[in-house]
Structure 1
C-alpha cells in the first residue's frame, strides 16, 4: 500500500523547455514562397463559400415576408391558408439542409486542396 509511487502532477502551459532552462528554439520560417500564398488562397476560398452560402440563405428567407404578403389571404376567416403553412413550415428546411451540405463539402474540398498545395479553383 505505502510502497506505490504516485506520479507527480504537472501543469502544461506551453512547449516543453530543455533541461538547462533555455527557451525552446523557434521553428524556421517557411523557405518555399508558395507556402505564404496558400493560406491566403484558402481564406479567400472559404470567405467566398461563406458569402455564397449566406446569400443563398438570406435572399429566399428574407423574401418570405414578401411572398406571404402577396399570397391571397381570406379576409374574414380567422384560419390561415394551407399555402402559408407550407411556405413557412415545410419549404425552408430541405433548402437549409441542401445549402448546409453543399457548404460543408465545399469547405472540406478547399481545405484538402490547400493541404495538397493545389492552386486550382473549383466551381
Structure 2
C-alpha cells in the first residue's frame, strides 16, 4: 500500500488565469505576422459564413412567395413535394460551397 503514489492535492484560492497578486497573467507574445494572418483568416471565414447564410435565407425565404405565385399552389401534393424536396439541393450546394471556400481560405493563409 505504501508503494502507490497518491496525487498531491492543490488548494484553489483565486480565479484561474490570475497570478498570486490577483493581476491577469500576461499573454505570450505572438509574432505580428501570425496575428495578422489569424485576423485575415477570421475575417474571410466570417465573410464566407455570412454570405452562405444570406444566400440560404434569401432562397428559402422566397420559397413560400414562389409557391404562392405558381399555378401549382392549388394542388396540395405538388406543394408538399416542392416544400419537401426543393430546399435540400440548395442546402447541399451552399454547404459544399462553404466547405470549399473555408478550405481555400485556410490554404491561402497558411501558404504565406
TM interval, shorter chain, is: 0.5 to 0.7
Q: Equivalences for 1:30-49 in 2 at 5 Å?
A: 30=31, 34-49=33-48
**Distance in 2 (alpha carbons) for counterparts of 1:103 and 1:38:** 20
Distance 1:35 1:14 in 2: 23
User: TM-score scaled by structure 2?
Assistant: 0.67
Q: Distance in 1 between matches of 2:6 and 2:50?
A: 54
Root-mean-square deviation (Å):
3.2
For residue 62 of structure 2, give the secondary structure of its aligned residue in structure 1: helix
Three-state SS of the structure 2 residue aligned to 1:4 is coil
Deviation at 1:58, TM superposition (A): 1.2
Residue of structure 1 aligned with 2:109, choices 90, 102, 114: 114
Residue of 75, 96, 101 corresponding to 1:101: 96
Structure in which a larger fraction of residues adopt helix: 2
Give the gaps of 5 or more residues in structure 2: 20-24
Cα distance change of structure 1 residues 112 and 10 upon mapping to structure 2, 3 Å threshold:
farther
Q: Which runs of 5+ in 1 are unaligned?
A: 18-23, 118-123
Cα separation, partners in 2 of 1:35 and 1:58, compared to 1, 3 Å: same
Q: CA deviation at 1:84?
A: 0.7
What's the TM-score, normalizing by structure 1?
0.63
Q: Give the Cα–Cα distance (whole angstroms) in 2 for the partners of residues 45 and 92 of structure 1.
A: 26
For 1:26 and 1:113, the matched residues in 2 are separated by: 27
Say if 1:2 and 1:37 are closer, same or farther in 2 by CA, change over 3 A.
closer
Q: State the alpha-carbon separation in 2 of the partners of residues 106 and 98 from structure 1.
A: 12
Aligned length: 104
